Amino acid sequence: MKKNFVRAVFPGSFDPITNGHLDVVSRGVKLFDELIIAVGRSPIKEPLFTPQERVDIIAELIKDMPRVSVESFEGLTVKYVKQRKADVILRGLRSLTDVQYEFQLAMTNRSVAGVETVFIMTSEQYGFTSSTLIREVASLGGDISRLVPKIVYARIQQKLKK
C-alpha cells in the first residue's frame, strides 16, 4: 500500500524564532514529508524583526534540514494552508494555557476550512519560553542567550543597539 504524501504548515510570528520553535520543527519533520514554516504578520503584535528578516533568519537556521522550508504569508492561516495544498497545521504546546487557546483554534480551523491540526508538546526546557517574553527580557538587558539560536541572539543584540 502506497503512503500518502503529507505536507504540514507550522505557522507563527517567529519574532524571534526560539529554541522551542526549532525543537518543534526538528520533531515535526520526522512526522511529515514536507514542513513549511510560515511566518505570519500579526496586526496586534509590535514586531522586532520585519517578516523578511524573520524569513532570512529562519532560512539560515534550517538550511541543512531537508524537507523544511520557510515562507511569509498574510491573512488567515487556513487560507494559506489551503493555498499551499497542505494537509495539516503543526502547532507546539507549552502549557495548559496554550492547550485551551490552541484547542479552540484547531476546532475552528477544522470547522471553517476542514484543516486538521497536529500538536507537539515542546521539550521541558522550552516550556516557559515565548517570543514575546524573549523580546521583553532582551529589551530590558536580560540574558536570553540560552533561549534562542546564536544567530538570533546576535541579531537581537544588533537590533537593540539601534
Known catalytic residues?
A: 21, 45, 94, 131
Q: Is 135 in a helix, a strand, or coil? A: helix
Do strands 34-40 and 116-121 pair parallel, antiparallel, or not at all (unpaired)?
A: unpaired
**pLDDT digit string, tens, across residues 13-52:** 999 999 999 999 999 999 999 999 999 987 777 889 999 9
Residues in CB range of 44: below 8 A, 6 or more apart: none
Per-residue pLDDT band at 155 (split at 50, 70, 90): very high
Give yes or no for a contact between 155 and 145, defined as CB atoms under 8 angstroms apart.
Answer: no
Domains contained in the chain, CATH given: 7-161 (3.40.50.620)
Question: How many CA atoms, within 13 angstroms, populate the side-chain half-sphere of residue 38?
Answer: 27
| Percent of the chain residues topping a pLDDT of 70 | 99
pTM here is 0.92
Q: Are 23 and 126 in contact (CB under 8 A)?
A: yes
Helix 150-161, helix 131-139: angle, nearest 10: 50
CA distance 59 to 146: 20
| Residue labelled with grid coordinates 524564532 | 17
**Residue type at 50 in one-letter notation:** T
Average pLDDT over residues 62-91: 96
